[in-house]
Each structure stands twice: as structure tokens, then as C-alpha cells.
Amino acid sequence: MANQLDSELMIPNEEIGNTLDESVFATLLRDLKRIGTKLKQVLIFRGDKDNLRDWDLWGPLFLCLLLSVILSHGAPENQSSLVFALIFFIIWIGSGIVTINALLLGGNISFFQTVCVLGYCIFPLNIASIISLIFNNIVVKFIFAGIGFIWSIISSISFISPFIPTNKKVLAIYPVFLFFLSLSSIILTL
């Protein structure tokens, strides 16, 4: 009886297997692979509910730090640390506000899921900021920041909107729009 219960409680997961025996490198590689699949989903605008459910904050933290480092590198010398802090502040507080708004509108979603999704959806803006750092031209910056802005908005809508009631989707999306607009405006000026 006890054996039967144990076998029921043990979830057979062939992908992961026993994580205690494996090396640290294998664990890191698996996490990186998971982050990679989520980034791919962001780029092809395909929100998958099952993949959203196992949220992680490593990917958003990595992307947030990357964007902060890039933009603070492009800032004037006396301001670089403050720009770093600003980007960090906007990403975490802003995604928190967007999530609280979605919860108040009656969205059936957990807090860290939405924070995770918004963190991954910064990825197009990351690419835009790298390109605008290489080509220091205002026209190129404008074009690529605009493309990244639209891209991240569409992918975040495709992830979040299945969880919001149908009549309130516009209301939930408007703060997302403001969030990415503030980030891409900082890319433009630096």
C-alpha cells in the first residue's frame, strides 16, 4: 500500500529525471534551454498556456540586467549608474503595476506569471538597444526602437490576453502600452 502511494506521489518526469545526481553544469544548461524556448515563443508571438505556467524569474532578471547595462553604457558618464537604476526600477515596478491592474480587472492569472511574461517580452527591445548602440544614428534608432516596441507589445498581448475577460482586454492592454512606450523612449534618447 505504501509503495503504491509512493509511486502515485512520485511524478514521473523523463525530461528532468533525478536532479540530485547530475552536475551543476547540466542543471544550468537545462535552465538556459528553458529560457531559450520561452524567448523563441516571445519572438514568434505564440503564447502557450502550459509554458507560461512554469514561470521563472531568471530570464526576466537576465534580460533586465542586459538592457540596463546596454543603456547605461550609452548614457553620459556621470549618469550611467542612475540610468541603470532607472531601467531596473521601471521594469520591476512597471510590470508590478501592470499585473496588479490585470488582477483588479478580474484576470485569472497569478502575479509572477505576468511579471515573468512581461520580463521576457522585453527581448525585442534588447535587440533594438544593441542595434542602436552599434549604429549611433537617430533614424536607425527611431526605426528599430519602433519595431521593437510594436513587437514586444504584440507578443505580450498574445501571452496575457487569454487570461483576461473578453470585454476588458483593451483596459488591461493600455498600461502594457505605457510600460513599453516609456522603455523605448529611453532607448531613443540615449
Partner 1 sequence: MTTNQNDNENDNDVEWFNAPVNHQHLEQSNQNQNQNQNQNYPQNPELSNFSNEMNEKTDSNSSFVSMFRTTKIKLNEYRDINKVKPLFDINNPKEVLERLVESINPFRFINNKNIKIESFDLYGPVMIVFTLAMLLLFAMKLTFNKNELEFFVLGKAISISFTYWIIFSVIVNFLAFGVTLKFTTIMSITGYSIFGYCLTLAISLVNNSFGFLSAIIFGGLSTAKIFLTLFFLSNQKEKIVAPAGICSLIHFIFIFYLKFAFIKK
- Which chain residues interact with partner 1 by CB under 8 A? 75-76, 78-79, 82-83, 85-86, 90, 101, 103-106, 167-168, 170-171, 174-175, 178, 181-182, 185-186, 189
CB of 68 to partner 1, least distance (A): 12
CB of 127 to partner 1, least distance (A): 22
Which CB atom, from 3 or from 78, has the smaller least distance to partner 1? 78
Which CB atom, from 26 or from 150, has the smaller least distance to partner 1? 150
C-alpha cell at 35: 529560457
Give the N- to C-terminal CA distance of the chain in Å, as an integer.
66
CB of 172 to partner 1, least distance (A): 10
Which CB atom, from 12 or from 76, has the smaller least distance to partner 1? 76
Closest by CA to 166, choosing from 95, 87, 82, 107, is 107
176, 157 Cβ separation under 8 angstroms: yes
Which CB atom, from 74 or from 162, has the smaller least distance to partner 1? 74
CB of 101 to partner 1, least distance (A): 8
Alpha helices in the chain, H assignment, sequence order: 2-9, 24-43, 49-53, 58-74, 80-104, 111-120, 123-134, 138-160, 169-189
CB of 89 to partner 1, least distance (A): 8
CB of 150 to partner 1, least distance (A): 17
The CA–CA distances, whole Å, from 134 to 33, 71, 129, 143, 152 equal 28, 12, 9, 14, 21
Which CB atom, from 42 or from 164, has the smaller least distance to partner 1? 164
Rounded CA-CA distance 86/32 in Å is 27
Which CB atom, from 28 or from 150, has the smaller least distance to partner 1? 150
DSSP state of 75: S
Rounded CA-CA distance 122/98 in Å is 14
